[in-house]
């Protein structure tokens, strides 16, 4: 590619950094497990947040959970955020129109194509021309989501890990039509929250979940086959492999419904039977045992 004589090779990067520095407010769509943490993460970085969900109950629960997390931060994270200032930066609303002025959006609605397909045309119509849409999905290809909009160059994968306020790195996914500027803007924006980005190309499940969902699914088959108890499966990973968490506790943290949705996406997309969801996992989901968020999954959790 020819380079212009008038600009240094870094001019584009600097301009994008400046554009990221100018973003004053971010839209967070979906106030579930991820949307709550993502809202808190941006607010802690001094960025205003408009958090949108269709469920008033989810919005109320999000506010309460963020409050609780901020209160417990000295214990759980060893630092004391300015609780009142952080909380005051987040506006909770069920009105999508509130997104018309934000500079960037991170979408975290349910991992289900029908739901995502309803949301993107709305975002495309309401958000400003320049606004980049970050897709927080566990497995759905970014290029497919971008096709729901008229701004495929400004749609990028932002796979943020759970719990968002504590995780230092984001998997950023470059869709087939995502522009270099959108990728740079995204990593610069995350840098403002103290996060690093690892940029990867678009394929179902990206890097993390193509591997992680297979592991979790196989661990569920171990339970179905009666090979070991959930606590022994996880102990082996923690104590023999030095993993911080075993695969089943990780699945409970992610949400078993989200795990199942992700496996279905991988199975449908690759048409490879190795991704077929474990029937026992499906049974837990059918029983409403979705992991931590419902109080029980592979393990029981005290309701809080
Ligand atoms: P969740 O089920 O906890 O929350 C989803 C939220 O979306 C709910 O509050 C629901 O009311 C809301 N919603 C549904 N339809 C909506 C609409 N039309 N407009 C606005 N809000 C709507 O799910 P989650 O675990 O937070 O996952 C959200 C996304 O993040 C999924 O795509 C998931 O794959 C991805 N993700 C999840 C994790 C994880 O560990 N849970 C990690 C990374 C990425």
Atom of ligand 1 at shortest distance to CA of 110?
Answer: 5
Exposed e or buried b per residue across 241-273, where buried means at least 16 C-beta atoms within 10 angstroms of its C-beta: eeeeebbbbbbbbbbbbbbbbbbbbbbebeeee
If you measure from the C-alpha of residue 202 to the centroid of ligand 1, how many angstroms do you get, rounded to a whole number?
Answer: 20
Residues 175/147, Cβ–Cβ less than 8 Å: no
Q: What are phi and psi of 69, to 5 degrees?
A: -60, -40
**Residue nearest (by alpha carbon) to ligand 1 atom 29:** 108
Q: In the structure, which protein residues have their CB atom closer than 6 angstroms to any atom of ligand 1? A: 29-35, 52-55, 58, 108-111, 115, 118-119, 136-138, 159-160, 162, 254-255, 258
pLDDT tens for each residue of the chain, 304 residues long: 444 444 445 667 777 888 898 999 999 999 999 999 999 999 999 999 999 999 999 999 999 999 999 999 999 999 899 999 999 999 999 999 999 999 999 999 999 999 999 999 999 999 999 999 999 999 999 999 999 999 999 999 999 999 999 999 999 999 999 999 999 999 999 999 999 999 999 999 999 999 999 999 999 999 999 999 999 999 999 999 999 999 999 999 999 999 999 999 999 999 999 999 999 999 999 999 999 999 999 999 975 5
Tell me which residues are annotated as active site.
159
If you measure from the C-alpha of residue 138 to the centroid of ligand 1, how many angstroms do you get, rounded to a whole number?
Answer: 10
132-135 and 90-93: which strand pairing? Answer: unpaired
**Of 271, 300, 238, 293, nearest in space to 31 by CA:** 293
Could you write out the DSSP letters of every residue in 192-232?
HTT-EEEEEE--TTTTHHHHHHHHHHHHHHHHHTTSS-HHH
Q: What are phi and psi of 284, to 5 degrees?
A: -60, -40
DSSP 244: S
The predicted pLDDT at position 184 comes to 97
If you measure from the C-alpha of residue 174 to the centroid of ligand 1, how many angstroms do you get, rounded to a whole number?
Answer: 21
Task: State the pTM of this model.
Answer: 0.92
**Of 150, 144, 158, nearest in space to 116 by CA:** 144
Which residue shows structure tokens 């759905």?
140
**Residue nearest (by alpha carbon) to ligand 1 atom 2:** 110
Pairwise CA distance, residues 297 & 284, whole Å: 7
**Residue nearest (by alpha carbon) to ligand 1 atom 7:** 109
**Residue nearest (by alpha carbon) to ligand 1 atom 8:** 32
Atom of ligand 1 at shortest distance to CA of 160?
Answer: 43
């Amino acid at each position: 590619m020819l380079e212009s004589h008038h600009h240094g090779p870094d001019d584009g990067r600097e301009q994008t950094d400046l554009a990221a520095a100018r973003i004053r407010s971010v839209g967070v769509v979906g106030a579930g497990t991820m949307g709550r943490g993502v809202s808190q993460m941006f607010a802690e970085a001094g960025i205003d947040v408009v958090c949108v969900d269709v469920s008033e109950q989810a919005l109320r629960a999000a506010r309460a959970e963020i409050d609780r997390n901020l209160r417990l931060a000295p214990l759980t994270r060893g630092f004391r955020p300015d609780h009142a200032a952080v909380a005051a930066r987040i506006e909770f609303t069920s009105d999508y129109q509130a997104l018309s002025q934000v500079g960037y959006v991170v979408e975290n609605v349910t991992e289900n194509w029908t739901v995502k397909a309803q949301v993107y045309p709305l975002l495309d119509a309401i958000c400003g021309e320049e606004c980049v849409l970050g897709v927080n999905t566990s497995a759905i290809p970014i290029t497919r989501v971008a096709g729901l909009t008229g701004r495929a160059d400004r749609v990028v994968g932002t796979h943020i890990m759970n719990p968002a306020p504590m995780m230092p790195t984001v998997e950023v996914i470059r869709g087939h039509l995502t522009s270099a500027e959108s990728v740079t803007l995204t990593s610069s924006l995350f840098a403002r929250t103290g996060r690093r980005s690892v940029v990867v190309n678009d394929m179902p499940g990206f890097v993390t979940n193509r591997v992680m969902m297979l592991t979790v699914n196989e661990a569920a088959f171990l339970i179905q086959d009666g090979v070991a108890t959930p606590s022994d499966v996880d102990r082996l990973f923690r104590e023999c492999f030095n993993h911080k968490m075993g695969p089943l506790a990780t699945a409970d943290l992610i949400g078993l419904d989200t795990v199942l949705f992700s496996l279905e996406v991988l199975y449908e997309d690759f048409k490879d039977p190795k991704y077929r969801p474990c029937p026992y996992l499906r049974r837990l989901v059918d029983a409403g045992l979705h992991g931590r968020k419902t109080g029980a999954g592979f393990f029981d959790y005290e309701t809080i």
